[in-house]
């Protein structure tokens, strides 16, 4: 064992984490201060204000939870649900399935609306479930990391409101890379992560709760099952009172502040356009190489691209070759998609045309070695033509 940590430099083009912006690394070197230090309160105010801008919301209860995305998912559900409640859970991939499990652990009953992996949940399916069941909330994944599907949200939100249900949305793989419009869409609670489109390390989960969701938390008959994720307690620390709840990860909060400043300076419209432009270049390149996207164009997720693995090609061997020969990491499928798709992330700092070109060139070389026939250089040429 060596005494010095020496991890390799990778180009992270998988489902997350993505590469960290250099400014974020530098921010993490700032001196740590106490969690009741007035200077730290200023940092906290910066973070909550920038998160409201990113979520496009006026919600007072908008803050980063200490924990990864699973903590945000659990916080939204365990604060809003009590034993005996019913929730409509939309499942079109792995993370919808995880929401169902958390609903059950809350003592609530899930009414499942399910679509084939890679296809969207249709609004009429949600309305049919709400007609059958008196549900307290509807939960859906906006950007399904397991399939590369971008789920249309607005019509489902309208239906949830019509039936008096709170609307909970997973924005783990969309926040910071695609438009997330909490107030305009009528979303009551949403959670995300720091390590994907924001270009910061994993360890925090930004959440936002509408006034209606906050009111629902305040009307609970019993305390939330998780003390650590009880938003009625956490809010008191992040609010004006600054009442101690737990020790926050200060360096992670520094990192998030800097990452959010990078987003703010780029501008949301420009940032979303960059992600979409690089996604379209990648798709053009892959299709020119004779490969097929798993999700149909209207619902392709710009930040996480899923590619069907050609017949006869070894999934693991290709991904290992990308890592060993080119320092590129991509993800494989899991669940029913294991060995069937590759997941290629273009998120945050990792989303660049340079990475698109490098990946297409590397993949072409490796697939030729796997016996896949394609015109040499076609992928890169198509990507560059698409980018204009």
338 and 252 fall within a common domain: no
Lookup: tokens for 106: 């809350």
Nearest to 278 by CA among 301, 312, 244: 301
Lookup: tokens for 212: 């209606």
Does the structure show a pLDDT above 70 at 2?
no
Does the structure show a pLDDT above 70 at 229?
yes
* 175 belongs to a structural domain: yes
Quick one: pLDDT band at residue 288, thresholds 50, 70, 90? very high
CATH number of the domain residue 289 falls in: 3.90.1150.10
Does the structure show a pLDDT above 90 at 98?
yes
Query: CA 212 to CA 230: how far, in whole Å?
Result: 17
Query: CA 157 to CA 165: how far, in whole Å?
Result: 9
**Of 235, 265, 295, at which residue does a domain stop?**
265
39 and 119 fall within a common domain: yes
What mean pLDDT do residues 137-145 have? 98
- In angstroms, what CA-CA distances link 281 with 233, 328, 352? 46, 18, 10
pLDDT digits (tens, 9 = 90+) for 37-88: 999 999 999 999 999 999 999 999 999 999 999 999 999 999 999 999 999 9
Is the CB of residue 296 less than 8 Å from the CB of residue 85?
A: no
* 381 belongs to a structural domain: yes
* 8 belongs to a structural domain: no
Nearest to 238 by CA among 57, 67, 382, 36: 36
Which residues are CB-contacts of 280 (< 8 A; sequence separation ≥ 6)? Answer: 302, 386, 387
Quick one: pLDDT band at residue 110, thresholds 50, 70, 90? very high
**Of 226, 246, 265, at which residue does a domain stop?**
265
Does the structure show a pLDDT above 90 at 388?
no
pTM exceeding the 0.85 threshold for the entire prediction: yes
Does the structure show a pLDDT above 90 at 3?
no
Number of domains present in the structure of the chain: 2
pLDDT of residue 1: 64
Lookup: tokens for 25: 């690394």
291 and 350 fall within a common domain: yes
Is the CB of residue 76 less than 8 Å from the CB of residue 89?
A: no
Nearest to 92 by CA among 73, 70, 123, 114: 114
| Torsion sign across C-alpha atoms 215, 219, 220, 226 | positive
Does the structure show a pLDDT above 80 at 107?
yes
CATH number of the domain residue 114 falls in: 3.40.640.10
Is the CB of residue 301 less than 8 Å from the CB of residue 196?
A: no
* 139 belongs to a structural domain: yes
Lookup: tokens for 47: 């973070």
For residue 81, what are the domain limits? 21-265
| Three-state SS sequence of the chain | CCCCCCCCCCEECCCCCCCCCHHHHHHCCCCCCCCCCHHHHHHHHHHHHHHHHHHCCCCCEEEEEECCHHHHHHHHHHHHCCCCCEEEEEECCHHHHHHHHHHHHCCCEEEEEECCCCCCCCHHHHHHHHHHCCCCEEEEECEECCCCEECCCHHHHHHHHHCCCEEEEECCCCECCECCCHHHHCCCEEECCCCCCCCCCCCEEEEEECHHHHHHHHCCCCCCCCCCCCHHHHHHHHCCCCCCCCCCCHHHHHHHHHHHHHHHHHCHHHHHHHHHHHHHHHHHHHHHCCCEECCCHHHECCCEEEEECCCCCCHHHHHHHHHHHHCEECEECCHHHCCCEEEEECCHHHCCHHHHHHHHHHHHHHHHHCCCCCCCCHHHHHHHHHHC
Which residues are CB-contacts of 8 (< 8 A; sequence separation ≥ 6)? Answer: 327
* 11 belongs to a structural domain: no
**Of 265, 280, 311, at which residue does a domain stop?**
265
- Mean pLDDT (the chain) is 97
pLDDT of residue 355: 98
* 35 belongs to a structural domain: yes
Quick one: pLDDT band at residue 4, thresholds 50, 70, 90? confident
What mean pLDDT do residues 378-383 have? 97
150 and 226 fall within a common domain: yes
239 and 314 fall within a common domain: no
193 and 213 fall within a common domain: yes
Contacts 24+ apart (CB under 8 A), 298-301: 299/119, 299/120, 299/149, 299/150, 299/151, 299/152, 300/148, 300/149, 300/150, 301/143, 301/144, 301/148, 301/149, 301/150, 301/173, 301/174, 301/178
* 14 belongs to a structural domain: no
* 62 belongs to a structural domain: yes
What mean pLDDT do residues 168-195 have? 98
pLDDT digits (tens, 9 = 90+) for 297-313: 999 999 999 999 999 99
What mean pLDDT do residues 10-20 have? 98
């Amino acid at each position: 064992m060596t005494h010095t940590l020496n991890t390799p430099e990778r180009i992270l083009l998988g489902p997350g984490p993505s590469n960290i912006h250099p400014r974020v690394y530098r921010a993490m070197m700032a001196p740590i201060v106490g969690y009741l230090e007035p200077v730290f309160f200023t940092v906290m105010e910066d973070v909550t204000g920038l998160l409201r801008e990113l979520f496009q919301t006026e919600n007072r209860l908008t803050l980063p939870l200490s924990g990864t995305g699973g903590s945000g998912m659990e916080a939204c559900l365990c604060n809003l649900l009590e034993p005996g409640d019913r929730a409509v859970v939309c499942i079109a991939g792995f993370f919808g399935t995880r929401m169902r499990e958390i609903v059950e652990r809350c003592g609530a009953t899930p009414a499942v609306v399910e679509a084939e992996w890679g296809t969207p949940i249709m609004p009429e399916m949600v309305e049919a479930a709400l007609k059958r069941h008196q549900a307290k909330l509807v939960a859906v994944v906006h950007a399904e990391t397991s399939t590369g599907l971008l789920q249309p949200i607005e019509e489902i939100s309208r239906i949830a409101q019509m039936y008096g249900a709170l609307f909970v949305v997973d924005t783990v793989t969309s926040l910071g890379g695609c438009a997330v419009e909490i107030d305009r869409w009528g979303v009551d609670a949403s959670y995300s992560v720091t390590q994907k489109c924001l270009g910061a390390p994993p360890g925090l989960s930004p959440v936002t709760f509408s006034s209606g969701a906050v009111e629902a938390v305040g009307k609970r008959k019993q305390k939330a099952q998780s003390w650590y994720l009880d938003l009625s307690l956490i809010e008191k620390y992040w609010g004006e009172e600054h009442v101690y709840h737990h020790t926050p990860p200060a360096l992670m909060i520094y990192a998030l502040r800097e990452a959010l400043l990078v987003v703010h300076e780029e501008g949301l419209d420009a940032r979303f356009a960059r992600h979409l432009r690089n996604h379209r270049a990648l798709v053009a390149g892959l299709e020119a190489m004779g490969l097929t996207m798993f999700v149909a164009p209207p619902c392709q997720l710009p930040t996480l691209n899923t590619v069907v693995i050609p017949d006869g090609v070894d999934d693991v061997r290709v991904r290992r070759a990308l890592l060993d020969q080119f320092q590129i990491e991509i993800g494989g499928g899991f669940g029913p998609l294991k060995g069937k798709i590759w997941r290629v992330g273009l998120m945050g700092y990792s989303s660049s045309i340079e990475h698109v070109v490098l990946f297409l060139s590397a993949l072409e070389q490796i697939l030729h070695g796997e016996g896949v026939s394609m015109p040499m250089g076609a992928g890169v040429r198509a990507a560059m033509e698409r980018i204009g």
